[in-house]
Amino acid sequence: MGLKSIIFLIVLVGVRGSPTSKTASADMLASSKIMLETAKETGEKSTLPVEVVEEDVMATGELNPNHYPAQRAAKVVQHYLNTRYGSPYRLFGLHQVHSGNAEDVSNSGRRYQLEISVHEIISNKTQKCSAEVFFPQGEGPLLAEVQASPCDELLHIDTKLQEEALYQQYRNNQSLLSAQNLPDSYGHIEPDMKPFWHLAIVASSFIMLKESTENTLYNLAQVASIKQLATENEQLKFECHVLLHEMVSQEIPQWKLQFTWSSAGGVNVLEKEQLPHCHSCEKAQNSS
């Protein structure tokens, strides 16, 4: 699907449905830079649902796969897969929700059973997988629990040589990497920065997975900055400033995080901190 077709879908979502679907179209617009750049890079089919409309979050039984409850739970699966298997050369996206079912579990939470298609963005391969998401209820921060079939076909994509080459290149570099605004205001990313953009998305998935509830839907809006830090161990270390987009509240939370990566050890988030609210970030997103 071409870029014009994807843009048309984004606009289409904005004009169809009731006024309550406004949050869905805003989410598409806020994420469009990343989605369009990814589509341009890989030729992927658009992962945007043609119609996402408001539905009671507490609905039980069979769910409409294009409505919020199923989409929100499925998005959590995407973040989970990225935290478990993501890398500079392996990045997962939600391609489609085929079916969903929700049930209350003894007043302790709600369980979602899902059939979804997961898209490995860099290789442009898609596989159908089953997943279960449990949102616990109670006091304090409670993490969503995720179980997903391993999507073996996607996990068997061999990226070891690429990852080892990238690791050795930046392990031995005399100067430390530094970049800003990935993607830039034109949706452009320099080719040698794309692996680090992917790494920042994977690291951000740790935050989005932790923050996700039945009432949220998170996407990465932009990597504002990423820089490599000096380290004496075998891991590459990075500090990253990211802008997320929470489409339900329409907030653009900023997070700073430090994480490590190596071809052998994967991504490990060391520190994460939510930064003060940024009104100018929201205005910039709304005007894009």
C-alpha R_g of the chain: 18
> What predicted TM-score, i.e. pTM, was given to this entire model?
0.79
The torsion angles phi and psi of 162, rounded to 5 degrees, stand at -65, -45
Task: State the angle between helix axes of 3-15 and 22-42 in degrees (0 to 180), rounded to the nearest 10.
Answer: 170
Instruction: Domains for the chain: give ranges and CATH numbers.
Output: 47-155 (3.10.450.10), 160-287 (3.10.450.10)
What is the pLDDT at residue 152?
84
Residue 233, pLDDT above cutoff 80: yes
- Please say whether the beta carbons of 218 and 211 come within 8 A: yes
Omega before 183 cis (within 30°)? yes
How does the average pLDDT of the chain come out, rounded? 81
What is the pLDDT at residue 278?
60
* Predicted confidence (pLDDT) per residue in 13-62, tens digit: 332 333 233 333 333 343 444 444 444 443 334 444 434 445 555 678 99
* Predicted confidence (pLDDT) per residue in 152-191, tens digit: 889 888 999 999 999 999 998 889 999 999 999 888 999 9
Distance CA 131, CA 112 (A): 8
Q: Which residues contact 237 (CB under 8 A, 6 or more apart)?
A: 228, 229, 230, 231, 258, 259, 260, 270
The C-alpha angle with vertex 96 and arms to 93 and 97, in degrees rounded to 5, equals 120
What is the pLDDT at residue 59?
73
In order, the DSSP letters of the chain are: --HHHHHHHHHHHHHSS-GGGHHHHHHHHHHHHHHHHHHHHH-PPP-S-S------TT--EEE-TTSHHHHHHHHHHHHHHHHHH-BTTB-EEEEEEEEEEEEE-TTSEEEEEEEEEEEETTTTEEEEEEEEEEEE-SSS--PPEEEE---HHHHTS--HHHHHHHHHHHHS-SS--EEEEES-TTS---GGGHHHHHHHHHHHHHHHHHH--TT--EEEEEEEEEEEE--SSSSEEEEEEEEEEETTTTB--EEEEEEEEETTTEEEEEEEEEPPP-HHHHHHHHH-
- Please say whether the beta carbons of 162 and 89 come within 8 A: yes
* Predicted confidence (pLDDT) per residue in 11-24, tens digit: 223 323 332 333 33
Cα distance between the two ends of the chain: 22
